[in-house]
Structure 1
Amino acid sequence: MTTQRRILSIQPGQPASDGAGVRLNRVIGGSGLERFDPFLMLDEFSTDNPDDYIAGFPPHPHRGFETVTYMLEGRMRHEDHLGNVGLLGSGGVQWMTAARGIIHSEMPEQESGAMRGFQLWLNLPAKDKLGEAGYRDIPATDIPRLTTAKGVEAVVIAGEFDDGEIRQTGAVQRPHTEPQLFDLRLPADSAIAPKLPDGHRVMLYVYQGELNLPDASPEPIKAGRLVRLSDEGALHLASSQGAGVLLIAGKPLHEPIVQYGPFVMNSREEIEQALRDFRDGVLA
């Protein structure tokens, strides 16, 4: 008999503000980051009100991890001190490796309309935290998108999608943490059973509709909830009403996590060094 992944927790996001006053729903962040290792933060932005996003994220530093920004609707411009410039449009992804240091800005390229998407922070192993910084802009046309026999649409951002019938390599592959990042769109009365490696930390964020986990919960998971699952077993997702789900999985690093704002290192001493480097203009 196949073991099913168990639900460890179900939690709502918390209202937050970041940048120059952008309103967010902070799904992961704050204390207890070891529970989500290798993931450090997940923010959702979803609004039709330009006052909630127009101020954007003026220049700010990062060190020690990667940021993944996935846009459902809207336009955001990236610029950094390395000379990278990118325009993130609907369905696109920006994958930034801060490593030893990057200073960038993320500013809206619109003054009205909807701005919807996510930013995920992915930790780097200790040996790579002071490596070369990098940036990749991935338009929607370069991200694999497929539809299963049961009508579920899967946007395969990172890792490899495999439901036993279709296998598809994602747009991004990363060593060490081996992230799996899929946007799953389940129509009403559909189901999907994506295969994931045992030992990977697995989370589901329901961003619209209601998700059913027939083998783990008698009650549907409503939009705005993060489901944290056990690290081993099969996964069966279904929806009677229809749902949009961000599936996030990765291999834990099992290393110390010390965070101070935009810096994530392995010790307090390394954080203090990052602060000195930023102050002295030698972060990167």
Structure 2
Amino acid sequence: MNTTTPRTMVHVIESQPTSDGAGVKLRRSLGSQRGMHVDPFLMLDEFYSDDPNDYLAGFPSHPHRGFETVTYMLDGHMRHEDHLGNRGDLAPGSVQWMTAARGIIHSEMPQQSEGRMRGFQLWINLPSKEKMKPAGYRDIPATEIPVVELANGGRVKIIAGTFANGGKDISGPVNGSRKLSTDPLYLDVHLPAGAEFNAPLTVGHNAFLYAYEGSAKVGTGEKARQLPHRAAGVLSDGDSVQVQAGPEGVRFLLLAAKPLREPVVQYGPFVMNTREEIEQALADYRDGKLAAAA
């Protein structure tokens, strides 16, 4: 007889208001304090404002090394440019999956002077053997991201990984047939009031949810816990997760990946395994070699 092990929510990380880039206002959950990450996820930022003064300054040219950044736009228009000569436009519903690896210098600047700017940036660590591979990125338009309509009126956008619905596995544009080493799952789930959502998860993979609209209960029976608005809920191990929307409905991100279980040494935009590697990254950037190496 097959048995399931539903995951429970073991820790809540409230998002904290902060700013980044040239003063863009945002809220940070993972990464808001040193060591507060969910291996291999290092940081999750939510940016959301109708006031241009909160985002117009953008994120001018800055370096990265040792990890991946995933930018997911809900509203607004951002342009990416980097030292490799790449240029990409992030429109509503689109994603950029950038592998900084051994080095990239890029900028992310708003292409609007009014209206709403809303979205997320996620940092995913790379294993030591991949930290110094060539940099690269992929722009994914909204039209390439599958949307599954659920029977209860909810829907799921599959950005990375695979979601099973009605006996059929549906893969997102990232980590489908070609697996990344961290094997990430990235779902954006919308549920109406009171609706339930169940998803299988790989045993041994770390996972968390982030409620960006409304609230929800996570888990089953007496172990169910409340996930507040704008908070990340870290999950225990298990092979599935159950979420029930609150009375106002809920929109949340579900993220899971294979943990690296390697040392993490971070200094600003550089994430390596040792202090010596961080010092080398700083020297390479100072000497103009970080960009040249890529």
User: Do structure 1's residue 201 and structure 2's residue 206 form an aligned pair?
Assistant: yes
Cα contact 2:9–2:224 (8 A) shared by 1? no
Equivalent position amino acid for 1:62 in 2: H
- Aligned residue in 2 for 1:122: 124
What 5-or-longer segments of structure 1 have no aligned partner? none
Q: Deviation string for 1:47-91 (max 9, x for gaps)?
A: 111100000000000000000000010000000001110110100
- Aligned residue in 1 for 2:5: 3
Larger deviation, residues 220-229 vs 258-267: 220-229
User: Do structure 1's residue 260 and structure 2's residue 267 form an aligned pair?
Assistant: yes
2:245 to 239, 248, 253: 239
Q: Deviation string for 1:74-120 (max 9, x for gaps)?
A: 00000000111011010000110000000000000000111110000
Cα contact 2:15–2:28 (8 A) shared by 1? yes
1:114 & 1:16 partners in 2: Cα distance? Answer: 18
1:25 & 1:43 partners in 2: Cα distance? Answer: 6
2:145 & 2:218 partners in 1: Cα distance? Answer: 27
2:98 & 2:219 partners in 1: Cα distance? Answer: 36
Cα contact 2:23–2:54 (8 A) shared by 1? yes
- Indicate the RMSD between aligned Cα atoms, in angstroms: 1.4
User: Do structure 1's residue 277 and structure 2's residue 280 form an aligned pair?
Assistant: no
- Aligned residue in 2 for 1:42: 44
Return the offset for 1:187. 1.2
What is the 5 A alignment of 1:81-100? 81-100=83-102
Cα contact 2:212–2:251 (8 A) shared by 1? yes
Compared CA separation, residues 201 and 163, structure 1 to 2 (3 A): farther
1:152 & 1:104 partners in 2: Cα distance? Answer: 36
- Aligned residue in 1 for 2:233: 227
Larger deviation, residues 255-264 vs 144-153: 144-153
2:134 to 106, 126, 132: 132
Q: TM-score, normalising length from structure 2?
A: 0.93
Equivalent position amino acid for 1:180 in 2: L
Cα contact 1:176–1:253 (8 A) shared by 2? no
Return the offset for 1:3. 2.2
Instruction: State the percentage of identical aligned residues.
Output: 55
- Aligned residue in 1 for 2:35: 32
- Aligned residue in 2 for 1:73: 75
- Aligned residue in 1 for 2:24: 22
Larger deviation, residues 269-278 vs 147-156: 147-156
Larger deviation, residues 211-220 vs 226-235: 211-220
- Aligned residue in 1 for 2:187: 182
Return the offset for 1:2. 2.9
What is the 5 A alignment of 1:47-62? 47-62=49-64
2:226 & 2:272 partners in 1: Cα distance? Answer: 37
User: Do structure 1's residue 191 and structure 2's residue 191 form an aligned pair?
Assistant: no
Return the offset for 1:165. 3.7
Cα contact 1:212–1:238 (8 A) shared by 2? yes
Matched residue count = 283
Return the offset for 1:124. 0.6
| Deviant stretches of 4+, over 4 Å | 216-219
What 5-or-longer segments of structure 2 have no aligned partner? none
Return the offset for 1:129. 0.3
Q: Deviation string for 1:148-169 (max 9, x for gaps)?
A: 2222210100011125644210
Return the offset for 1:222. 2.2
Cα contact 2:10–2:236 (8 A) shared by 1? yes
Tell me the secondary structure at the aligned position of residue 277 of structure 1. Answer: helix
- Aligned residue in 2 for 1:151: 153
